[in-house]
């Protein structure tokens, strides 16, 4: 009986002595122009005094057969933040110049007393469109007005000729 009580007491102490990791909300997506810098954050609260949580960044990439593959992000991109007074810890992933192949879902993998995946941030890298014709707003408005007039004529002229034909055929009867 004493052994069972001792075991239950030790289990109770171990359960409440462990630190609790609380994940903070991630930014759901970021859209960044090609070659621009970007910083992704992953924050969590840890009530453990000496933190034993290890943060790793994972990139989910869409494969050719519509499946997703996990890739570990290179260590050179990862910078671990400092713990502040509210026991919040942030890890940041910094890209100095994003490339098109950096597009994907970036998640934090927290490995400590328990394992957590954050919801992640989807990073979309886009290439800006180049203007082929540089027109002023005044010129664009004139073109739209001319298109409107032509469209009106394309509707009115055929309908007027049809009405004339109907009128003539009605007069013949």
148: left (phi over 0), alpha (psi -120 to 50) or beta: alpha
| pLDDT for res 47 | 67
DSSP assigned state of 129 = P
**Does residue 30 lie within any of the structural domains?**
yes
SS3 137: helix
List the CATH number of the domain containing 113: 2.60.40.10
In a domain, 73, yes or no: yes
Per-residue model confidence (pLDDT) at position 11? 44
Q: What are the tens digits of pLDDT across the range 123-166? A: 999 998 887 888 889 999 999 999 999 999 999 999 988 888 88
- Note whether residue 136 is domain-resident: no
Residues 3-19 have a mean pLDDT of 44
pLDDT tens figures, 27-86 = 888 999 998 999 888 887 766 655 566 778 888 777 777 777 777 776 544 555 555 556
Which helix (H) or strand (E) covers residue 135, if one does? none
Phi, psi of 8 (to 5 degrees): -65, -40
In a domain, 33, yes or no: yes
Range of the domain at 67: 16-126
Q: What is the DSSP letter of 139?
A: H
Rounded Cα distance between 152 and 135, Å, is 25
Structure tokens at 129: 């469109």
63, part of any domain: yes
* Residue 8 pLDDT greater than 70, yes or no: no
The answer to the question of residue 156 being in a domain is no
In a domain, 154, yes or no: no
Q: Which residues pair with 40 in a beta bridge?
A: 93
Nearest to 71 by CA among 112, 114, 32, 101: 101
**Domains of the chain: total:** 1
Give the closest residue to 59 by CA, choosing from 32, 46, 80, 78.
78
Whole-number pLDDT of residue 132: 81
Q: For residue 157, give the H/E element and its range.
A: helix 137-172
pLDDT at 95 over 60: yes
């Amino acid at each position: 009986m004493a052994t069972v009580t001792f075991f239950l007491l030790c289990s109770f102490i171990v359960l409440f002595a462990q630190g609790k990791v609380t994940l903070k909300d991630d930014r759901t997506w970021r859209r960044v122009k090609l070659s621009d810098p970007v910083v992704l954050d992953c924050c969590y609260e840890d009530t453990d005094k000496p933190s034993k949580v290890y943060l790793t960044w994972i990139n989910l990439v869409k494969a050719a057969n519509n499946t997703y593959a996990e890739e570990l992000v290179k260590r050179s991109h990862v910078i671990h933040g400092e713990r502040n007074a509210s026991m919040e810890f942030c890890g940041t992933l910094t890209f100095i110049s994003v490339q098109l192949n950096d597009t994907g879902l970036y998640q934090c993998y927290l490995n400590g007393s328990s394992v957590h995946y954050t919801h992640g941030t989807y990073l979309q890298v886009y290439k800006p469109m180049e203007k082929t014709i540089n027109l002023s707003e005044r010129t664009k408005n004139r073109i739209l007005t001319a298109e409107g007039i032509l469209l009106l004529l394309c509707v009115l002229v055929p309908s007027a000729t049809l009405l004339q034909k109907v009128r003539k055929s009605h007069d013949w009867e």
